[in-house]
Structure 1
Amino acid sequence: MGPDSSQDAPTVSQLGEFGLIDRVTAGQPQSPGTLLGPGDDAAVLAAPDGRVVATTDVLVEQVHFRFDWSTPHQVGRKAVAVNLSDIAAMGAVPTGLLVGLGCSPELPTKVVDELAGGMWEEAQQVGIGIIGGDMVSATSLTISITALGDLQGRAPVTRSGARPGDVVAVAGRLGWSAAGLAVLGRGFRSPVAVVGAHRVPEPPYGAGPQAAVAGATSMVDTSDGLLADLGHIAAASQVAIDIRTEQVEVPQRLTEVASALGADARHWVLTGGEDQALAATFPPSRPLPAEWRAIGVVAEGTGVTVDGALYEGSSGWEHWR
Structure 2
Amino acid sequence: MAASMSVTETGEFGLIARITARLGVQPSTLLGPGDDAAIVSAPDGRVVASTDVLVEGRHFRRDWSSAVDIGHRAAAANLADIAAMGAVPTALLVAFCGPPDLDVRWAEELTDGLVAEADRAGAAIVGGDVSASSVLTVAVTALGDLQGREAVLRSGARAGDVVALAGRIGYAAAGYTVLSRGFRTPKMLVEAHRRPVVPYPAGPAAAKLGATSMIDVSDGLLADAGHVATASRVGIDIDRDAFPLPDQMRDTASALGVDPYTWILAGGDDHALLATFPEGAQLPEPFRIIGTVTGGAGVTVNGKSYGDGQVGWDHFR
Superposition TM-score tier, normalisation by shorter sequence? over 0.9
* Distance in 2, Cα, partners of 1:118 & 1:261: 31
Query: Residue 320 of structure 1 corresponds to which residue in structure 2?
Result: 316
Equivalent position of 1:224 in the other structure: 219
Aligned to 2:46: 51
Question: Tell me, what secondary structure is at the counterpart of 1:174?
Answer: coil
Cα offset, 1:27, TM superposition:
5.5
Q: CA deviation at 1:97?
A: 0.4
**Is the counterpart of residue 239 in structure 1 residue 239 in structure 2?**
no
Q: CA deviation at 1:250?
A: 2.5
Letter matched to residue 278 of structure 1: L
The equivalent of 2:146 in structure 1 is: 151
Structure 1: give runs of 5+ residues left out of the alignment: none
CA-based RMSD: 1.1
Post-superposition shift, 1:307? 0.7
| Residue 63 (structure 2) aligns with | 68
* 1:33 and 2:66 correspond: no
Partner of 1:300: 295
Alignment match of 2:279 (pick from 254, 264, 284): 284
CA contact (8 A) 2:230 2:297 kept: yes
Runs of 4+ deviating beyond 3 Å: none
Distance in 2 (alpha carbons) for counterparts of 1:142 and 1:168? 35
Residue 113 of structure 1, aligned match among 108, 112, 115: 108
1:223-255 deviation per Cα after TM superposition (whole angstroms, max 9, x unaligned): 000000000000000000001112233322211
Q: Does 1:92 align with 2:59?
A: no
Q: Map Cα deviations across residues 150-186 of structure 1 (whole Å, 9 max, x no partner).
A: 0010000010000000000000000000100110011
Per the normalisation by structure 1, the TM-score is: 0.96
Q: How far 1:28 sits from its partner (Å)? A: 2.9
Q: Deviations over 1:250-286 (max 9, x none)?
A: 3222111101101011111111100000100000031
Whether 1:23 aligns to 2:5 is no
Aligned to 1:162: 157
Cα distance in 2 for partners of 1:127, 1:233 equals 27
> Does structure 1 retain, via aligned residues, the 8 Å contact 2:170–2:268?
yes
Distance 2:145 2:128 in 1: 20
**Contact 2:242 2:289 (C-alpha < 8 Å) held by counterparts:** yes
Q: For residue 284 of structure 1, what is the amino acid of its counterpart?
A: E
C-alpha separation in 2, matches of 1:167 and 1:127: 29
Equivalent position SS for 1:160: helix
In structure 2, give the amino acid aligned to 1:158: L
**2:156 partner SS:** coil
Taking the aligned partners of 1:21 and 1:265, their CA distance within structure 2 comes to 44
Tell me the number of residue pairs that the alignment of Structure 1 and Structure 2 aligns: 316
Identity of matched residues, %:
56
- Segments of structure 2 that go 5 or more residues without pairing to the other structure are none
Q: Is the 8 A contact 1:9 1:15 kept in 2?
A: no
1:25 Cα offset (Å): 1.1
Residue 204 to residue 258, structure 1, CA distance change in 2 (3 Å): same
- CA shift for structure 1 position 9: 6.1
Whole-angstrom distance in 2 between the partners of 1:247 and 1:73 = 33
AA at the equivalent of 2:316 = W
User: CA-to-partner distance for each residue in 1:17-66, whole Å, 9 max, x for gaps?
Assistant: 11111111126320111111001000000001100000000000010000
Cα distance in 2 for partners of 1:249, 1:94 equals: 31
Whole-Å Cα distance in 2 between the matches of residues 102 and 290 of structure 1?
38
Q: In the alignment, residue 162 of structure 1 is paired with which amino acid? A: A
TM-score computed with the length of structure 2 as normaliser: 0.98
CA deviation after TM superposition for structure 1 residue 105, in Å: 1.2
Is the CA contact 1:96–1:129 (under 8 Å) kept in the aligned structure 2? yes
Q: Which moved more, 1:31-40 or 1:308-317?
A: 308-317
Could you tell me which residue of structure 2 aligns to residue 81 of structure 1? Answer: 76
Deviations 1:197-242 (A, max 9, x none): 0011101111101110110000001100000000000000000000
Amino acid at match of 2:274: A
Match of 2:269 among 253, 267, 274: 274
